[in-house]
Amino acid sequence: MPSVSKTDVEAALGTVNDPEIKRPITEINMVEAVEIEESGQVTVKVLLTVAGCPLKDTITRDVTNAVSKVAGVSGVTVDLGVMTTEQRGQLQEILRDGHAQREIPFGQPGNLTKVYAVASGKG
């Protein structure tokens, strides 16, 4: 059985897109660690953006399918974790491509604009 290359596993993970963000999970730093045993068993630690991610099963399945195709892999284990606040901030920066966060002019201190919402409740 050929030994499993970490480079090959990372390349396979690069084909897995986050179902909500539509970007490779390696590009948005969702892959925290890849461990490869001599037996060919691969463990991938994936960080979800939020604890209750509704698509965690899809991500797990996609990671398992992609890594299973790498030569020499005998099994795949996907460990799920959750991004820290700092990691989510870095993800926001990646997704903005360096553009500054938009400011809401009505929320600035000293702004005299008032917004009133009116609803009729007829439904």
Nearest to 9 by CA among 23, 25, 28, 22: 25
pLDDT tens for the 123 residues of the chain, in order:
568 889 999 999 999 999 988 999 999 999 999 999 999 999 999 999 888 888 999 999 999 999 999 999 999 999 999 999 899 888 888 888 766 667 777 777 888 888 788 888 876
Q: What is the pTM of this model?
A: 0.75
Asked if residue 117 belongs to a domain, the reply is no
Cα–Cα distance between 79 and 57 in angstroms, integer? 12
> What CATH number is attached to the domain comprising 49?
3.30.300.130
Query: What is the extent of the structural domain holding 88?
Result: 6-107
Nearest to 47 by CA among 5, 90, 98: 90
The total number of structural domains that make up the chain: 1
Cα–Cα distance between 35 and 24 in angstroms, integer? 19
